[in-house]
Every structure is written in structure tokens, then in C-alpha cells.
A and B are shown apart, each in its own frame.
Chain A
Amino acid sequence: MNQDQAPVLVCKDLCISYYTRAGEIPAVVDFSLTVKPGETIGIVGESGCGKSTVAMAIMQHMGANGGIKSGSITFKGRDLTQLSDDELRSIRGSEIAMIYQEPFASLNPSLKISTQLMEVPLAHENISKGEARERAVQMLGDVKLPDPERLMDSYPHQLSGGQQQRVVIAMGLLSNPSLLLLDEPTTALDVTVEAGIVKLVADISKKFGTSQIYISHNLGLILETCDRVFVMYSGEVVEEGTINSLFTWPKHPYTHGLFACIPLPTADKNAAPLRPIRGQLPLPFERPQGCYYHPRCDHFKSGVCDVDHFKMEHVEGGSSDHRVRCLRYKEIDHDLLTDIEEAKEVLKLGKRVLNVDGMKKYYEVRDSSLKALVSGKRIRYVKANEELNFTAREGETVAIVGESGCGKSTFAKVLMGLEKGTEGEVRHKGKDISDIAVRDRSAKQISSLQMVFQNPFDTLNPSHSIGGQISRVIKKFGVESDKKKIFDRVMKLLDTVKLPRDFYFRKPRQLSGGQKQRIGIARAFAGNPSMVIADEPVSALDVSVAAAVTELLMEIQREHKTTLLFISHDLSVVRYLSDRIVVMYLGHILERGTTDQIFAPPYQPYTEALLSAVPIADPEVTKREIVLEGNLPSAMKPPKGCPFCTRCHRRIGDVCDNEIPPEQAVADKHVIKCHIPLEELKKVEPVIHVPDDSERIHARQ
């Protein structure tokens, strides 16, 4: 980075408001930012903190009801707030480009990739079509897309999500912009795909000298891509600094809180549990007096923090651009807090409650095309689950890990009785339930097996009150029958999930995402289940909310000795809370074992790649970089041999393509499905290296 060059973008004392029927809503206050050429700035914060509003303001695309109240945005010496629409149009897309969260929404589904890419230089520069096409092909190669010529003639739906996002990035880079805005570009993608995009984004500034603003809620991703980071809370920056100084010595209590919410490799569910931030993000028009964070802060001091709003301050003794918005940052000793947290008892595992034995689930797909009629292959199978074998004990947490399309949700459906298994057995408490549909199960069977769903906005019926929905479960399962007793039980459940009792009368739309998910948990536990399946219960939630919900789920599990089947794609959460892990890929279990066994060599190559893909928000943890090529094969046409052979970085030869790999037992219950001999797999270095406390520059937690 060149320190002497003039900055690309300077935001100064920016205040942005939205004007609604309810009045003026100050979305962003007092925001200042300088982006130097070639620098990547990260903006991190939870939803509603104003990070996307900043990006929209830089694009000058605020919508009808938004406006910049004060301050300036200077881009290469020109104040964007003063420019006319025509001038802005010539800057947008050519000098400032933006990349959005969902690639499939950013591409026009009815136009070919070539048309959409060539449009960019054609609109902004005076060049010929041939030249534009040449540049587009060149750029597709630069974003590491295979076979650019063929891609040019494809339509967006013919590409995978990761490829689409690469095309969007290529489109953004085509006009050679000075500034690239990325608004959560990988949130909608799978982890291994995300790892590829993150690597690409990190290389962009090196290769093209483009400055970037990377917006994310994930501190780990910010660490991997950015040079400097801004932490936002409730519309303002609370801390800014270089990656190194902010991640190693965070000063603001909120930044600390965020770190305590992420399951870092040092966290442990029994010894060092997550510490969720209490309370909720205040609504923009309900911000408290003084420091916006003070009602949630552990270091609040009356008469200091709640008096006046104050400016960012340079951190004494810190690096030159580490600034913080806290009056008491010097007095706070963050290490003190960690000792207060007492270690929790390790839950003893009971007898075996779930036994999955050779379970298969094939979906029939009828092909009624003429070709199928002629060849006689009218029925094809989607092999969603192939030979699943694993067990779970009482009180145990078993995680099923895999990317989308790996068959983990199908397995949940079979377990719940929404689908019937094709072959094999799923024994719950000794009884095979794989081919009993839910309506044929007894009330006791149903109530002992319940589910927590993924999407908080979908898990509750918007038409019915919270109380009604929980009561229905209690009534249906016959836990209580008397009206008064049902009501009392709902109240108790609301207490258990730590929500106020008057939520009984509320409608789901009056609740935040985290609160809805708590209700979802209350509903699952209403019938005293012995086993709960949690399908990505926190993946749609903000970090601090996710931590609280995770802790809550584990607390209730601990109390009820429930077996928890935790379905997730996020290995850091899984490592934190599960006892055993099952790694799935394309319907196969590729590796299963205890959490420690999975995270240490020998690895199945896919596990290895997954581990490498997980972003870890700790600068001192080092990872071996493995970026997978290619896409997940379709479940209609899985590879003949090892399901992972098309993307495997350790492929040993034709045997991988043609033969299904054998199960190799590493230790008791640690099984790896791979052709590579165990001896060789054992020689592999660990993917994640966590330094000992003695090696650390600064001992955190």
C-alpha cells in the first residue's frame, strides 16, 4: 500500500437518516472513513447497525426516503453529495462498483453472461463490441472461472452460486473501478465456495490495485480479507484500527463482546462457554443517552457513560490509526472478567437412544421425456442418503456437518417421519421408525422426537399468537389437558427460554429473529422430547444473538438430558458444542468420530478442506489453505466412485473415480471413508494451528 497517495474515498462526519411515517430515523451518525488506494476496509457489525446504509450512501443510492443529513463523501476529490444525477451515473459502475449479497438476484436471468458483462465497458467507454468481449473473457479468467468462452454463452441459471458470484465480481471489476463495495458477498454461499471467493477478493487489491470496502457480519472473514476494520454498533463506529491491533487488542467493550460470542478454537462448552451480550440492539429512535452501548455494557459507570454522546478517541499506546469510542477503555481490564465465569459440569452420557443402521433414502424422479421412453430409463433416483450409520446416546450432542445438498436435511425428514427411508433402519429407543410416517406414530413417539427449524422468520405461523402455538403442542401431545395447566406450562416454558411472560399474547411479527428462535426452541421442548433435531438453528442470526440462542439450547439440553442432533455447515459452532461429528457429502458419511478426532489428523480430505474453509477470527491461529475447485456434483448423477473425487485435492487415481471408498476404522468409532491408506492420512499436518498461551502475543480469554 502506498501511504503517500491521495485517498480514494473520504467520508467525513457523515450522518444519514431515513424519513418514514414514524418520523426521522437516524440510521448512521458521525461516520468517518478514509480509504487509501489499494486498501481493503472491513465494516463489521450486526444487522441494523447501519453498515449497508453506509455502502448505499457511498453509491448515492439511498432510495426515496433516505438522505444524507450532514457531512461529506469525497471520492477522488469530488464531493459525491453535490453531484448531479448524470455525473453520478458516470461514476457508478465505472469508478465505484458494488457487489451484493445474493448473486442470483444481481444477474438478469434472461440475458446471457456475455451480454451482461459486455454491457459494462460498452456503457462507460467508447470501445467496439469485439474489444468488450475480449475484455470480458479475460476478466472471467482473472476471477478464476474455468472455460470463460463457454461461460460467456451461458445463462445465469446454468451456473452455480459460487460461479455466479464470481461473474458478479468480474462485472464489478470490468470497468477497472477505483473502489469496490462488497456487501456480504459470501453470506448466501457454502463454506468451501465462500473460501474460494474470499481468496479471490483478497487477491483483487493486489492484482488490480482496487480499493475495497468489505461489509460483513463475520469477524473471521474480515480478518482474512481486510487491512483495516471498522466495528459499527447502532449506527456509529465504536472502534476502528488495523486488523492486527484491533483483533489482538480490542478496546471497546462491544468489540470484546463480539469476540466472546464467536466460538473460537479456544472456547469450550463446558470449560470456557460463550458469553452472549445481554440485551438487544436499541432501535434507532430509542438510542440511550450517552454511549449507545451502555445498557448492555458490563463496564457501565453511571454518571460517565450515560451523560453525553462523545467522539472517537485515539487509543493511547496503540498503533496510529486505532481509535475507539469509549470513555473508560483505559480502566477496563478485560482479563478480569474471564475468571468470573465458572466451568460447567460435563454432562454424563446415558444409554444409546438412536441407532442409524444402513439407512438409505432415494427419491424417485420420473422422466417423461421421449428419450427416456425410448431408452427405457423412465425412473431415475436422487440418492439423497447413502448408507448412513451412526449412533447417539442420551444427553449427547451429535453434529451432522455438510454443505447444502449433502443430504443432512433429508435425513432429518426421515427421522421426523415426513419421508420414509428406502432401506435400512433408524432405531429410536429400540424401535425402527424409518418407515413409519408421522401420522402413524404414537403421540409418545412424536413428542419424544422434536425439531428446531432453521429460518426464524418461517418457524412460527404469523397468523397465530405465540401462546396459542405453544399451547397447541402441549395439548396435542397430551402433556396437560386442563386449560389453566396448559397456560401455566406455557408460562414456565417462556421462563425457560428467558422471554417475558407477556409474549404469550404477541404475534410473531412483533418479535426479533432471536426471540422467534427462542420460541421455536420452547415449542420443541414443550412435549418433553428425549431427542431434538436442530437444523441450523442459529445460522440466520446475528453473532451475539446466535451465541445467546446456542447457550440457551445447550442449557435446556443439559437440564433435560436431551439428545441433540445438530445439523450445521459451520464447523466452528459444531466444534464448540458437539461431542461427536458426522461429516456428510453428497449423501455419504465421509468421516465420523468424536469432535477431537475430527479436528485432528488423520482427516478425510473433505473434512480437511472444510476445516480450512472455516474463517477464524483470531489472527494468531494459522490455517493451512486448501481451496476446492469445481462444484458440488448433482445428486442425480453422482460420481461412480468416491462422491468427493471430482473436487478432491488428494485424489490418488482412477480408483477414486470408479470405486466407492472403503470405511477405514482409525480408532473406536472414528471412521474415515477414503481410498488413501490410513498410514498416509495420519502423516497429514493439522489444518488449524492454535498457539499455546505461552506463544501468544496477548493472552485473550
Chain B
Amino acid sequence: MTTSLTEMPTSGYGAALWRGLKSFALLRESWVGMVGAFLVIFWVLVALFAPLLAPFDPNSSIQPFAKPGAEAIKAGGTFWLGTDHIGRDILSRIIWGSRTVLIYAPLATLSAYTVGILMGLAAGYRGGWVDDVLSRVADIILSFPVLVLYIIIIATIGASGFNIIIAITFASSPGIMRIVRGLVLDLRNRDYVAAAQTRGESDWRVMLIEILPNARGPLIVDACLRLGYVIITIGVLGFLGLGLPPPDPDWGGMVNETRQMAMAFPHMTLFPCIAISSLILGFNLLADGLREISLRD
């Protein structure tokens, strides 16, 4: 070790990657986390290789004007999971639909976190009127029933992928702000924060470099859980017809479109539902696993 000390330390990215791999190796010790990670990775791979995996074009009616009761629309046979009410292959739509979920859910979560963290840092660290204003705004937003809030926002700005992100950010960042604020209230009294202040660091540097990294544990766990909620939300929005505009496949939309036939043809709604719940379950189990290993150390 002593000889290499004359050199500068290895690049930050390499070290960060190594640390990431090491914490993933820790996850192996929690089987709950492993199951969660498996489910999530499964869906990520499906989304990545959608063009290769999907047997049919998700948007074209392969079984035109399928009549109720016809052989082909049931599961099994040519169409593994059957077709929907207008004859589109459900398996292909689920495979392509995973892309929608796995693009918009993380983006929306990330965006909600960015806003929530900045608000929480400012409220917790600065305190005073900044805290008062931000906390009251958060209270107002949180006092709305979430669904009503989504309907109002989407109805106002229109249904599109980008607007879904905006709506989710608006509705969930106050909750994140609350968590961050609580963590910051505790962390800002630490001596290392005082040390940074006494050497005249700027507020943003103290907040982002000294405080935020130490709040990461609970935030990562919460982010995993929240990702699950966001997937539900996107599903619900799709179900309400406020999701992505048709015909692009969207799991929630698929349930909505076929729900009237659910009694006669349960497979049309069942399989998209299974897809949604398995991904959410994956994220929730992963969050549990992460919490378990973070408590252990």
C-alpha cells in the first residue's frame, strides 16, 4: 500500500462502481431482497429486449373482429396469453408495455425526488420562514385526495408521458420533502456540518455534499417503495383513461380497455394485472431487502 501512496487515488467512477457491486453482493444475504431484485431485473430485461421477445406487433389486430367465444382469443395456442377485444396479442402488448412503465415510472420518481429533496433540504436546513412556506405548501398539496389531484392536473394539461411525470412530481414531492426535512433536522446538528460551516462553506455545498449523502440510506429504501406506488399510479391513470394516449400499449390502459369483458374473458385483464403486481412486488421486496441490509451495518 505504501508504494502506491505517492500516486493519486484511482478515479472516482471506478471506486463508485466497485462500491455499488459490493453493496449488491450484500443483498445476496437477504432472500427477500434477492427475489425482489430478480423480479425487477426480469422486467428490465424484458423491456430492453422487447423487439426480440415480442412475437407479434403489439398494435395490430392479428385476429380481426374476434368474436366473443372464438377459439383464438383464449390463452394458449398461437397466442400464448390470448388476444384482447380487438384481436391484439396480449403477450406482445405486455412486453412492449413494460417499456412504458419502466421509462415513465423511474423518470417520474426521479423528478419527484429531485424536487422533494431540494425542498426538504431548504426547509430543514434553513428553517425559519423558508420552512414555514414550504411546509404549508406541502400540507395543502397533501390535503387533496391524490386521485382528484391527478385528474385535475391531467385534465388541465392533457394526457401525455411528460404530463404524467409532471403530475406525479407535483403530487408526491411534498411527501418526499417531509422525509428529507426530518432527516436534515437531525443531520444538520452533527459536528461535521458545524465543521463545514466554520470553514465558510456555502449553504448549498453543506446541504448537498455534507448532509444529503448521509440521508441516502432511508431515501434509497423509500425510493424503491415509491417506485412501486408510481407504477400503480401510472396504471391507475391508464385505467382512468388519463394515461398514455392509445394505441401504444400501457398496462393500466390494457386493463381499462378490456374491463367490460373481464367477466367473460378474465385473461384480458388478468395478465396485465399480474404484470403490474409482479413489478410492484419486485420493487417492494427489493426495498425490504435494502432496509434489512442497511440496518445490519
Which residues of A approach B to under 8 Å, CB–CB? 416-418, 438-439, 441, 443, 446-447, 450-451, 453-455, 458-464, 467, 473, 476-477, 483-484, 487, 491, 501-502, 504-505, 520, 523, 527
Contact = CB atoms under 8 A, between A and B. Distances in A.
Given A467-B9, A502-B5, A504-B5, A450 B198 contact: yes
A446 B213 contact: no
Contact of B1 (A447, A455, A473, A502): A502
Given A459-B191, A461-B210, A464-B213, A477 B9 contact: no
B143 interface: no
B28 interface: no
B214 A477 contact: no
Given A438-B198, A460-B192, A461-B210, 6 more contacts: A451-B198, A453-B191, A459-B192, A462-B214, A501-B5, A504-B5
Given A463-B214, A491-B5, A418 B199 contact: no
Contacts of B209: 464
Contacts of A462: 214
Contact of A523 (B8, B195, B210): B195
Contacts of B2: 501-502
Interface in B196-216: 196-202, 209-210, 213-214, 216
In the complex, which of the residues A453, A477, A491 has the most CB atoms of chain B within 10 Å of its own CB atom? A453
B136 interface: no
Q: List 7 tightest A-B contacts by C-beta distance, closest first.
A: A463-B213, A453-B191, A458-B191, A461-B192, A459-B191, A502-B1, A416-B198
Contacts of B197: 416, 418, 438
Contacts of B5: 491, 501-502, 504
Nearest to A461: B192
B55 to A, nearest CB: 47
Nearest to B210: A461
Contacts of B191: 453-455, 458-459
A693 B126 CA distance: 59
B190 interface: yes
A446 B200 contact: yes
Contacts, number: 66
Contacts of A418: 194, 197-198
A44 B209 CA distance: 41
21 contacts: A416-B198, A418-B194, A418-B197, A439-B202, A446-B198, A447-B199, A450-B199, A451-B198, A454-B191, A458-B190, A459-B195, A461-B192, A464-B209, A464-B213, A476-B199, A477-B199, A501-B2, A502-B2, A502-B5, A504-B5, A520-B195
Nearest to B215: A463
A82 to B, nearest CB: 33
A447 B1 CA distance: 32
A32 B210 CA distance: 48
Given A463-B213, A491-B5, A502-B2, A439 B200 contact: yes
A177 to B, nearest CB: 35
B194 A453 contact: yes
Given A464-B213, A501-B5, A502-B5, A453 B195 contact: yes
A41 to B, nearest CB: 36
A451 B191 CA distance: 10
A467 B195 CA distance: 15
Nearest to A445: B200
Nearest to B192: A461
Contacts of A441: 200
A476 B200 contact: yes
Given A455-B191, A458-B191, A487-B8, A446 B199 contact: yes
Contacts of B210: 461
B8 A484 contact: yes
Contacts of A463: 213-214, 216
B159 to A, nearest CB: 41
B293 to A, nearest CB: 12
Interface string B218-242: 0000000000000000000000000
A356 B196 CA distance: 25
